[in-house]
């Protein structure tokens, strides 16, 4: 490319600016910021979708007063508790299983609450009013111990507190919806057995497979008699009874520690978690929603826990007691990459350890060189039988593994962890793409086609856009990976041939992209499976006027067919509007999500809890603020004009770049870029106060050189560990990280 100018980073010609000042890290900065976003409850929550929730990626708890009850209940869940029978697949023999609930037995009936969920401390605290007095509670699921801790202090009246546990039988949740589908040969699990002695209780749920789940709780009362503390743990073992020892050891280790002592290590984890990145926008409702999603993610999963189920760790009344791979898993993990929260990436862990399950999911004739994944699995990645392209039974939904590996590719691109690329992403993607290659056919003109496959949630068609997009992305990515890794793969020529000769995406002049060659979109469709070419795969480029027009046409037709659109239709379309640079349209889509689909505690339901939709809403906000694709980092690419002030700090772009940026008065004041891998750096800085300048920052190696392309892109030579600042040429901006002004908005339940 031709360049307008080049400027080298030498002391004599580059002013060195001071380092960024992060005011959140001083005093109570983080506590005050997140405290302004805490959800509150001034009315009693009566169901899962209203109440506060806690979790540590495994153990979870949610609070409500169940319908018909006058007492508060903590419903327990755990992402590791499931059956292990080799009958009926992941939805029956391997299903996630319920545990039970702890009831706070006050003397009086609960009449009101004033509760607050501290995001910063990940603790629920406040007052519970009853007909006999007031109880102050404090509750948390410990961040690194499988322990629910609840303090209850009587502050006035004659109120007293005890606890009871009501187990839920280990029955497949799907049986309540589809009893006729219960597989023959699936054994019934024995009933749970509970024993109590004073303040100590144990519930043992043995499983027909030989495993066991144990819920063990213990209460203690302070010497003054006013405060009662509940300690509760859940342990699970798949094939033996070792859960009993695990539960006993967890309680024994905790029982002599005060609540404050236990809270120290709990809070330390959470206080290290949030500051890894920062986003502040002037839309208070959306900003609070965003930070609750980051809280929710850390409650729901950790890298050493099972891959996220569709309901998260909170197993409620649901027909979805497993992980779903035709959209749900992918959307659940998207917010991790820009925020740098690799400690939560249980999807990566599942893929690293899951090849045996993937092999079992693959039709036997193709196990020598291919892998494919059906629609749902548990943590072992063993799905129901996957289909064959061109066949109708089982359903040929064959793109799910390839799409999941796009997430793995994003995890790689945001960290540039070459060991992960070499050991996991490349070999699994090679086998996923090879499965497609077995079924490609050539027409008389030399164009390659796919036989009939299933476009998720719509129908079966030849040259299905869902699969064409994934195959195209897979071949392009394999070529990029071989170049990166220096691999001389014998299939390199085949992948390039597919890119050269694969049929273009089926489309027409009115509707845009079709579902496939033989199937048009004629009825409302919540899934954007036919749009994967644009989002999230970016195989069609909105910088091309023809492709941009195609995306606009397709979205207009898709969203114009109403009736079946759901929450994630609006998160997906918000991100697509952001690709087009239309921040206002993207914000309208997010507004529709929050107005219509998100419940008071920011959860979401389609028959049962479906956790991916609000989580993907967090990623949609990222797409307004930072985009990185095709080697270009776009800063503030789709900020709504009404958002005059925006701050981001240490968001991660592809290439392992940490991006901080400040917008004030509708103009970008500065952009800080730090390279963590020494990758090529191309930046679209957006609207600055004037012509751009690239300068070093104090205390850090700066850019070796930079240049400006005719199209406005800045090419910066930024070695690993170096950072630079982009500003208007005449500016000397204030380099501070602090929240932008926004009115207070509280999720939860108001007194009204």
Whole-angstrom distance, CA of residue 451 vs CA of residue 453: 6
The helix/strand/coil state of 578 is: helix
What is the pLDDT at residue 699?
A: 87
Whole-angstrom distance, CA of residue 118 vs CA of residue 30: 12
Residue appearing with tokens 């290590």: 265
Residue 41 — pLDDT band, cuts 50, 70, 90? very high
Please count the residues of the chain.
Answer: 752
Q: What is the DSSP string of 470-491?
A: HHHHHHHHHHHHHHHHT---TT
Beta bridge partners of residue 454, listed in sequence order: 460
Question: E strand or H helix at 553, and its extent?
Answer: helix 545-560
Would you say 407 and 470 are in contact if contact means Cβ atoms under 8 Å apart?
no
Distance between terminal CA atoms of the chain? 61
What is the pLDDT at residue 9?
A: 41
Going by DSSP bridges, is the β-strand pair 376-377/441-442 parallel, antiparallel, or unpaired?
A: unpaired
Given a cut of 80, whether residue 327 has pLDDT beyond it is yes
List the structure tokens of 37: 């976003």
Give the largest Cα separation in the chain, rounded: 88
Would you say 473 and 495 are in contact if contact means Cβ atoms under 8 Å apart?
no
What average pLDDT score do residues 280-286 get? 98
- Give Cα 103 distance to the centre of its chain: 31
Q: Which residues contact 170 (CB under 8 A, 6 or more apart)?
A: 83, 97, 98, 189, 192, 205, 207, 213
Residue 424 carries which DSSP code? I
Given a cut of 80, whether residue 14 has pLDDT beyond it is no
List the structure tokens of 550: 């195609």
Distances in Å between the Cα of 215 and the Cα atoms of 78, 234, 645 are: 11, 5, 49
Helix axes 567-579, 545-560, angle to 10 degrees: 160
What average pLDDT score do residues 394-406 get? 97
Would you say 349 and 338 are in contact if contact means Cβ atoms under 8 Å apart?
no
What average pLDDT score do residues 244-267 get? 97
What is the pLDDT at residue 13?
A: 52
Question: E strand or H helix at 570, and its extent?
Answer: helix 567-579
What is the pLDDT at residue 468?
A: 98
Burial 308-321 (b: 16+ CB within 10 A, else e): bbbbbbbbbebbbb
- Using CA of residue 119, residue 124, residue 128, residue 133, what is the dihedral sign? negative
What is the pLDDT at residue 1?
A: 35
Q: What is the pLDDT of residues 579-610, one digit of tens each?
A: 999 999 999 999 999 999 999 999 999 999 99
What is the pLDDT at residue 6?
A: 46
Reference 553, options 513, 503, 504; nearest CA is 513
Would you say 117 and 126 are in contact if contact means Cβ atoms under 8 Å apart?
no
Residue 531 — pLDDT band, cuts 50, 70, 90? very high
Question: How many other C-beta atoms can be found within 10 angstroms of the C-beta atom of residue 367?
Answer: 15
E strands along 33-184, which residues? 40-41, 53-55, 59-64, 72-78, 100-106, 110-118, 123-130, 133-141, 148-157, 161-167
What average pLDDT score do residues 172-179 get? 97
Name all domains of the chain by residue range, CATH numbers in brackets.
Answer: 5-24+634-737 (2.60.40.1180), 39-273 (2.70.98.50), 286-630 (1.50.10.10)
Would you say 76 and 62 are in contact if contact means Cβ atoms under 8 Å apart?
no
Q: What is the CA radius of gyration of the chain?
A: 27
List the structure tokens of 16: 């060195």
Residue 159 — pLDDT band, cuts 50, 70, 90? confident
Q: What is the pLDDT of residues 650-696, one digit of tens each?
A: 999 999 999 999 999 999 999 999 999 999 999 999 999 999 999 99
What average pLDDT score do residues 262-279 get? 98
Between 219-233, 264-278, 317-331, 563-577, the lowest mean confidence (pLDDT) is in 219-233
At residue 420's C-alpha, the angle toward residues 424 and 657, to 5°, is 140
List the structure tokens of 529: 């499976």
Q: What is the pLDDT of residues 537-582, one digit of tens each?
A: 999 999 999 999 999 999 999 999 999 999 999 999 999 999 999 9
Question: How many other C-beta atoms can be found within 10 angstroms of the C-beta atom of residue 18?
Answer: 12
């Amino acid at each position: 490319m031709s360049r307008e100018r080049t400027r080298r980073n030498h002391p004599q010609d580059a002013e060195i600016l001071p380092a960024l000042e992060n005011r959140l890290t001083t005093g109570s900065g983080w506590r005050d910021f997140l405290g302004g976003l805490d959800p509150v409850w001034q009315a009693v929550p009566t169901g899962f979708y209203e109440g506060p929730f806690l979790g540590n990626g495994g153990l979870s708890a949610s609070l409500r007063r169940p319908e018909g009850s006058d007492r508060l209940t903590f419903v327990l869940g755990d992402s590791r508790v499931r059956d292990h029978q080799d009958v009926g697949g992941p939805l029956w023999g391997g299903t996630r299983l319920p545990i039970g609930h702890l009831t706070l037995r006050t003397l009086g009936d609960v009449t009101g609450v004033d509760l607050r969920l501290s995001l910063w401390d990940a603790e629920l605290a406040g007052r519970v009013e009853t007909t006999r007095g007031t109880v102050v509670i404090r509750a948390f699921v410990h961040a690194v111990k499988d322990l629910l801790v609840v303090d209850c202090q009587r502050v006035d009246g004659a109120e007293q507190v005890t606890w009871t546990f009501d187990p839920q039988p280990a029955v497949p949740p799907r049986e309540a919806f589809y009893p006729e589908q219960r597989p023959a040969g699936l054994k019934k699990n024995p009933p749970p057995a509970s024993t109590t002695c004073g303040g100590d209780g144990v519930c043992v749920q043995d499983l027909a497979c030989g495993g066991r789940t144990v819920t063990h709780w213990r209460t203690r009362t302070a010497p003054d008699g006013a405060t009662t503390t509940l300690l509760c743990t859940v342990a699970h073992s798949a094939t033996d009874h070792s859960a009993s020892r695990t539960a006993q050891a967890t309680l024994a280790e905790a029982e002599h520690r005060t609540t404050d002592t236990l809270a120290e290590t709990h809070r330390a984890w959470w206080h290290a978690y949030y500051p890894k990145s920062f986003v502040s926008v002037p839309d208070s409702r959306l900003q609070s929603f965003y930070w609750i999603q980051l809280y929710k993610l850390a409650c729901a999963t950790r890298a050493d826990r099972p891959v996220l189920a569709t309901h998260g760790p909170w197993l409620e009344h649901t027909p979805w007691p497993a992980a779903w791979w035709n959209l749900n898993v992918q959307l659940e993990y998207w917010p991790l990459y820009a925020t740098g929260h690799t400690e939560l990436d249980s999807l990566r862990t599942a893929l690293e350890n899951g090849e045996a399950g993937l092999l079992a999911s693959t039709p036997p004739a193709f196990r020598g060189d291919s892998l494919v994944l059906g629609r749902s699995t548990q943590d072992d990645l063993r799905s129901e039988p996957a289909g064959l392209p061109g066949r109708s039974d089982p359903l040929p939904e064959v793109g799910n593994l390839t799409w999941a590996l796009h997430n793995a590719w994003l995890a790689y691109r945001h960290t540039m962890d070459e060991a992960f690329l070499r050991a996991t992403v490349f070999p699994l993607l090679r086998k996923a793409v090879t499965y497609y290659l077995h079924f490609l056919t050539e027409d008389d003109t030399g164009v390659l086609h796919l036989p009939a496959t299933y476009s998720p949630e719509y129908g079966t068609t030849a040259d299905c856009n869902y699969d064409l997009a994934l195959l195209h992305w897979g071949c392009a990515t394999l070529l990029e990976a071989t170049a990166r890794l220096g691999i001389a793969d014998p299939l390199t020529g085949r992948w390039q041939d597919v890119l050269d000769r694969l049929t273009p995406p089926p489309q027409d002049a009115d509707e845009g992209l079709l579902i496939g060659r033989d199937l048009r979109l004629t009825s409302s469709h919540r899934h954007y499976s036919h749009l994967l070419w644009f989002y999230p795969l970016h195989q069609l480029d909105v910088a091309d006027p023809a492709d941009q027009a195609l995306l606009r046409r397709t979205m207009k037709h898709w969203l114009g067919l109403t009736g079946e659109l759901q929450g994630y239709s609006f998160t997906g379309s918000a991100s697509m509007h952001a690709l087009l640079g239309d921040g206002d349209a993207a914000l309208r889509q997010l507004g529709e999500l929050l107005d219509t689909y998100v419940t008071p505690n920011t959860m979401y339901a389609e028959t049962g809890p479906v956790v991916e939709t609000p989580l993907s809403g967090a990623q949609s906000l990222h797409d307004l603020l930072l985009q990185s694709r095709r080697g270009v980092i776009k800063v503030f690419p789709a900020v709504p004009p009404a958002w005059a002030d925006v701050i981001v700090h240490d968001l991660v772009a592809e290439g392992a770049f940490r991006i901080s940026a400040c917008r004030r008065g509708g103009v970008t004041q500065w952009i800080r870029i730090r390279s963590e891998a020494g990758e090529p750096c191309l930046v679209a800085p957006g609207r600055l106060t004037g012509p751009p300048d690239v300068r070093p920052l104090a205390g850090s190696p700066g850019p070796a050189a930079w240049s400006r392309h005719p199209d406005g892109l800045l090419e910066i030579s930024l070695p690993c560990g170096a950072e630079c600042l982009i500003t208007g040429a005449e500016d000397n901006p204030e380099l501070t990280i602090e929240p932008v002004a926004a009115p207070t908005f509280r999720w939860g339940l108001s007194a009204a």
